[in-house]
Amino acid sequence: MNPALLSVEQLQIDAGGAHGAAATPILRGVSFALQPGETVGLLGASGSGKTSLALALLGLLPLPLTARGRVHFEGHELLAASRGARRALRGRRLAMVFQEPLSALNPRMRVGAQVAEMARAHGERDARRAMRGAVEMLGRVGLAETDARAQRYPHELSGGERQRVLLAMALLLSPALLIADEPTSALDVTVQAQVLQLLHAQQRERGMALLLVSHDLGVIATSCERTIVLHNGLVVEDVPTRQLLSAPEHAQARALVDAVRPAVRRA
């Protein structure tokens, strides 16, 4: 077997615990691995710890949350890495897309410039080349007439278009792993379907690994070969998605499967 792209061992996340107060466990020892190019869903209800897990992998846990354990990614130990080392990886090898594209974008900056900034932050010195790359990338995520669209501000775009901008930013430097945390939860269902399709097409084209975080198995099941179910800070299932759909073992996994089961079997 190939060495894993990402391997998480006994990851624990606690909230608080400073000044002698008792810490509240968010993750209580989570282990799993991702192979290069693998698509894995991280499924859990609100409060299961899935977003904290995603943020910990990115080194973006907000205080007072703290992480312990080991996270290996492409030969780096992420939890022990310096801020500078993590920043060098983030965006370039390890990218992310968040739920709310409006709050993830700078409202005072044209979207083309924001995408170009990703290249410049990772060493592109030529501003015009960065902008050309950004415009081309915006075209590939389906923002047509891109020169004009690139000149727009986030508030001039729809929710789906904003999420495409975030995706363009995430994909720009061809990362090995994309972490998408509820990338479509704030979108209309029809727009959700378009954005998910785009995400999968780009994932296949690039052979990039995908960790798709959601409470909705419908979002995960159409694209992820494997699903990890998180409940109360623990992994309660880590199985092929087909197996989860046909025979969920853990009670919480069963509830999450039943929640998306249609009332009537549809053609």
Partner 1 sequence: MSALLEVRDLVVEYASRDGSVRAVDGVSLDVPRGETLALVGESGSGKTSLGRAILRLVPAASGSVRFDGADVLTLNGDSLQRFRRRAQVVFQDPKASLDPRMRVGDVIREGIDIHALASRPDANQRVARLLAEVGLNATDADRLPHEFSGGERQRIAIARALAVEPEFLVLDEAVSALDVLVRRQVLDLLAALQAARGLTYLFIAHDLAVVERIATRVAVMQQGRIVECAPTAALFAAPESTAAQALLAAIPRIPW
CA atoms within 13 A on the CB side of 125: 0
CB closer to partner 1, 99 vs 146: 99
Helix, strand, or coil here: 226?
Answer: strand
* Segment interacting with partner 1, rule: CB under 8 A, options 85-93, 111-119, 166-174, 239-247: 239-247
What tokens does 224 get?
Answer: 């992820």
Residue of 99, 146, 163, 192 that binds partner 1 (CB under 8 A) = 192
What tokens does 161 get?
Answer: 């278009």
* Segment interacting with partner 1, rule: CB under 8 A, options 2-10, 87-95, 173-181, 251-259: 251-259
**Does 256 sit near partner 1 (CB under 8 A)?**
yes
The number of helix segments (H) and strand segments (E) in the chain equals 11, 10
CB closer to partner 1, 83 vs 266: 266
Contacts 24+ apart (CB under 8 A), 98-101: 98/166, 98/181, 98/182, 98/183, 99/181, 99/182, 99/183, 99/185, 99/186, 100/186, 101/154, 101/159, 101/162, 101/163, 101/165, 101/166, 101/186
Site for partner 1 in 152-171 (CB under 8 A): 159
**Does 190 sit near partner 1 (CB under 8 A)?**
yes
**Does 17 sit near partner 1 (CB under 8 A)?**
no
Smallest distance, partner 1 to C-beta of residue 8, A: 23
Binding site for partner 1 (CB under 8 A): 45-47, 159, 188-193, 196, 215-219, 221-222, 241-242, 245-246, 255-256, 258-266
